[in-house]
Amino acid sequence: MTNNVSAQSVDTSTLVELLRYRAIHEPEQHAYTFLRQGESGDAHLTYGELDRQAMAIAALLQSRDAVGKPALLLHPPGLEYIAAFFGCLYAGTIAVPAYPPRSARTMPRIQAIVADTQAKMVLSTAEALSDLQRCFAHLPEMESLEWVTTNTIPAHLADEWRKPELDRDSLAFLQYTSGSTALPKGVMITHGNLLHNLWLMKQHCEQTSESHMVSWLPPYHDMGLIGGILFPLYEGFPSTLMSPLAFLQQPFRWLQAISNSGATISVAPNFAYDLCNRKITAEQRATLDLSRWTLIANGAEPIRDETMKRFVETFAACGVRPEAFFPCYGLAEATLMVSSGKLTSPPVLRYVQRWALEQNLVMGAAAGDVDSWKLVGYDRILTEEQVVMVNPETLTRCLPEQVGEIWIASPSVARGYWHKPEETEQTFQAYLADTGEGPFLRTGDLGFLIDDVMFITGRLKDLIIVRGRNHYPHDIELTVEQCHPAIRPGCCAAFSVDTAGKEQLVILAEIDPHYQPVQQTGEAGEAMQSGANTRRKTLDGKALIKDISWQVWEEHDLQAYKVLLLKAGSIPKTSSGKTQRRACRAEFLAGRLESWHE
């Protein structure tokens, strides 16, 4: 029997005090489980064990003059990463979580983070060290870093730990934005930001000490770290974790972990639910009990109601209920969560005229209208959060029937970008031009507010403007996906390029590996894979490009300047699966994208 209490009732001003409280009052309480193979090989950690490991790591960092300085965390997903993150907090070191480099393509991001933070120390595991050092070979700025393997630090060093001088305004970590270029920005998250946002999550999610989290999200980014790791700590309930790769290889592992643990809460982007719809077999579904999963959170990318409806229908026999679907909206600059749907209520849906949105206007439409667009609403915005829609050109409030940029004022809003005062002022210090109200965070997201319900329409920077009309890339990408089953779901990108002074539409679409270009096949219409007995389907690439162009013209009144079919894995994405459209644009302009069929 545990004596769990929410952090809301504990007098804490930092995450260090929160974990210390848990370790002192509930040392044997199960905190985290990591599924090493995604389904077995469990590793466990209690609050007491995590506290001691964090103290030992912190003592070493304090002895190496790392207090108040950034330290890069390059751990693979696992319990060692959690211990290292808290070790930084316990030392007063500024944690800088980053995804370990997987290839040469991901190295520029790590180099940019090191250059921006001026970090002198890298934390990782002994097992990962040799691979990391091999990746960094011949990079002078990386070879000079001090390496610390946190899982080999002697446990007795915990006795030498000194509690750091921290308060709510102290920096906890730098959350580097996904970034579509080699210049990501470090969002400065304080202990106060974290505690306020965790409190917000408590109000939105309404979990208890009897709850259980399951997460496969990357622990290096806000939703995986704060949602999957810190929120369970705040509320005092256990969390079961696995690596993103384990999920992507076999989506069944995620739902199997929810079933086995009796989890009540789990969150993922829309594409994850789509993967489950397509990849989990009837035989696998028959083994699942998802009846305790009462909060099925969907966030981090545009939410498609069709995906969630199909998910509910597909897994209804497993115990999934439609009222458990929980849309949520947030961003790193606001720590994590901003708004959500309401628990136990179906999501609010609104049909709008697409042509009106192209003029930044909101006009209702009937379900099934040819030109209608269905949006999922967020109908729970707490009084502690001020959310306004602003014309990004005039910087004045929008009317309810107008689309504007979403601006936020909240204690969860971060301090700014690390070592970027001008960008900090532009993004975090916005004021309304007519009333002088502020400061607000400019989210860069577009949307509208009607009857206290917020609807997101797209990203300001991703907006495609052709002949004075606004087009949302994810809307075009959905049209492209539906052209042919060979196009990989969630693997399209639409963006604009300037050609001779005109904005033109470019479309990228990845092709499923089970398809082969028709010109490489024989008369039978099938081709043998080299060295294998399986046959690959054939596809006429040129015909598909014509079909894509026609469908986009028909549905969006847009002429595609270029349509490229690509091999699977060609489109740049973040570690959490978001399409990096600006990186796609840069790759296209540099001529680095290789056609699938030419």
Each residue's pLDDT, cut to its tens digit, for the chain (598 residues) gives: 345 555 555 668 999 999 999 999 999 999 999 998 767 668 999 999 999 999 999 999 999 999 999 999 999 999 999 999 999 999 999 999 998 887 666 778 888 899 999 999 999 999 888 888 777 777 777 778 899 999 999 999 999 999 999 999 999 999 998 654 447 899 999 999 999 999 999 998 989 889 999 999 999 989 999 999 999 999 999 999 999 999 989 999 999 999 999 999 999 988 899 899 999 999 999 999 999 999 999 987 778 888 899 999 999 999 999 999 999 999 999 999 999 888 878 888 999 988 888 788 999 888 878 778 889 999 877 778 899 999 998 999 999 889 999 999 999 999 999 999 999 999 999 999 999 999 999 998 999 998 889 999 888 787 787 766 778 788 889 899 989 999 998 899 998 887 766 778 999 999 999 898 886 544 434 444 444 445 678 889 889 999 999 888 888 878 888 999 999 989 988 766 778 888 888 888 888 888 887 6
For residue 468, the model assigns a pLDDT of: 62
pTM: 0.83
Q: Which residue has tokens 């999957």?
A: 228
Return the pLDDT at 343.
Answer: 81
69: its two tokens:
């300085």
Cα separation, 395 vs 407, in Å, equals 10
Which helix (H) or strand (E) element contains residue 192?
helix 191-205
H/E/C letters for each residue in 139-151?
Answer: CHHHHCCEEEEHH
Quote the Cα angle for 93-217-336, to 5°: 60
pLDDT computed for residue 221 by the predictor: 86
Cβ proximity of 305 and 335 under 8 Å:
no
Q: Number of C-alpha atoms within 13 angstroms, CB side, residue 157?
A: 20
Chain region(s) in the chain for CATH 2.30.38.10: 348-459
Select the CATH number that applies to the domain covering 464-589 from these four: 3.30.1330.10, 3.30.1330.20, 3.30.300.30, 3.40.50.261: 3.30.300.30
- Contact call for residues 446 and 463 (beta carbons, < 8 A): yes
In sequence order, the β-bridge partners of residue 502 are: 499
| pLDDT at res. 526 | 47
Ramachandran angles phi, psi of 406, nearest 5°: -85, 120
In angstroms, what CA-CA distances link 147 with 75, 390, 525, 565? 12, 46, 55, 42
Where in the chain is CATH 3.40.50.12780?
12-249
**Backbone Cα Rg of the chain:** 24
Q: Do the strands 295-298 and 265-268 form a parallel or antiparallel pair, or are they unpaired?
A: parallel
Q: List the one residue out of 273, 267, 265 whose CA is nearest residue 327.
A: 267
Residue 385 carries which DSSP code? -
Q: Which residue, among 145, 142, 143, 147, has the nearest Cα to 125 in the 3D structure? A: 147
Q: Which pLDDT value is given to residue 134?
A: 79
Going through 314-371 in order, the beta strands assigned E by DSSP cover 325-330, 337-340, 349-353
- 308-313 LR contacts (CB < 8 Å, sep 24+): 308/273, 308/347, 310/277, 311/273, 311/276, 311/277
Is it true that domain 348-459 has CATH number 3.30.1330.10?
Answer: no
Closest CA to 153 of 61, 32, 65, 43: 61
Positive or negative, the CA dihedral 73, 74, 78, 80 is negative
For residues 294 and 317, give the distance between their C-alpha atoms in angstroms, rounded to a whole number. 15
The first and second tokens of residue 347, run together, are 């999501």
Which class does domain 12-249 fall in? alpha beta
Residue-wise over 359-396: b if at least 16 C-beta within 10 A, else e? ebebeebeeeeeebbebbbbbbbbeebebbbbbbeebe
Q: CATH 3.30.300.30 in the chain: give the residue spans.
A: 464-589
